[in-house]
Amino acid sequence: MGNRSETPPGAAPFWLSLGLLPVALFAAINGGWALLLLPFSTWYLFTGLDYVVGLNTQNPDPDTAEPDLFWHRLITLIWTPVQLITVFGLMLYVLQSEHLHWIEEWALFAGLGILSGTIGITYAHELMHQKPKEERLMADILLASVLYSHFRSEHLLVHHRYVGTPRDPVTARYGEGFWRFFPRVLWQCYVSAFRAEKAMLARKGLPWHHKSNPFWKYWAMQAGFIALAALIGGWWGVFLFSVQAFWAVFQLELVNYVEHYGLTRKHLGGGKYEHVMPRHSWNAAHRASNWLLINLQRHSDHHYKPDRRYPLLQTYSADEAPQLPYGYPIMTLAALSPTIWRKVMNPRVRKWRKMYYPEITDWTANKNRLSPM
């Protein structure tokens, strides 16, 4: 593992996400070239910072007490109202002022989608893993605001349980390009999430339509946000809200594609697989992009210890977990080109196979292959 330090990193760098809010306001006021600032500020600014500040291989004490993480937790909690005020406040502003062309309005809300996907869904991911009800509620609100509420059920009940196996839609298959992956997961994740909740209810002797099925809450919350968008801007408001939601989900699934591409858990026979280990997720120790993504790139440890809060996530050396050559900002850009992606990542997957599973010589065999559900 990385080098051990006794205290978690300070919370201040993780609060840099708030600096994106005046960028969004500036873009909404000025339009034109300013609309490019949101995507460039979220991904490419932090890529440049990665180059400057390098890697962080320090590991905090995982037993740090909860009170010592107050400021780390607070940013994830306040982001929910901040994001809602930003999205709906800017919708009200641009529709009333009518100073932007409709194409500029579309571009603005696409940029807000990058913000709510990069920051909002990442924070929702952190919050949904926690025990306090208020944190899980904040996660549900954030996911409903991008019309992707089922992600909580899919992530907790399917992805973490079946990662690296054919039963996990989100594990990108070796050789599968992002443009094939994206439409597949949009459908399969929704179906697998619903089936997982239905199965849980069945084990309690309850039908899928029982009031305790969280999908009723998902649908109600999403309908509420659509109604709010309609109240502000009619059908055009609903369209802009949907644009924001689409690009947020697009960001999420780009990251999902990168996180586990080509990595599989060994089949033990009888439908059983080895336990999830750090080697079943791609790890990235790039400091600045981990500030932006609250250590999401320490994904190897997240799957190994899912209940560990983000400031305490550990990083791993190359002999313990596969390493991405760059942080998520560059890797997700590379994923948009299947040719570039395969050139960069396929040799790394083959090296990973030889390193951890030298006894497996036929990776096309059904028991070891990740094929679509």
> How far apart, in Å, are the Cα atoms of 300 and each of 214, 322, 345?
29, 9, 17
Contact 263, 171 (CB under 8 A): yes
Tokens of 335: 């994923």
The ranges of the chain with pLDDT < 50 are: 366-373
Identify the pLDDT of residue 339: 97
Contact 49, 288 (CB under 8 A): yes
What value, to the nearest 5°, has the Cα angle with vertex 8 and ends 6 and 10?
130
The distance from CA 55 to its chain's CA centroid, rounded to whole angstroms, is 21
Identify the pLDDT of residue 4: 64
Whole-angstrom Cα distance, residue 344 to residue 321? 17
Q: Are strands 58-59 and 272-273 parallel, antiparallel or unpaired?
A: unpaired
Q: How many residues does the chain have?
A: 373
Identify the pLDDT of residue 370: 44
pLDDT in tens, 224-269: 999 999 999 999 999 999 999 999 999 999 999 999 999 999 988 8
Tokens of 49: 């910072």
Whole-angstrom Cα distance, residue 73 to residue 66? 9
Whole-angstrom Cα distance, residue 46 to residue 289? 6
Identify the pLDDT of residue 363: 81
Contacts of 162 (CB under 8 A, 6+ apart): 168
| Model pTM score | 0.94
How many other CB atoms are there within 10 angstroms of residue 140's CB atom?
20
How many other CB atoms are there within 10 angstroms of residue 275's CB atom?
9
Whole-angstrom Cα distance, residue 167 to residue 151? 16
Identify the pLDDT of residue 373: 38
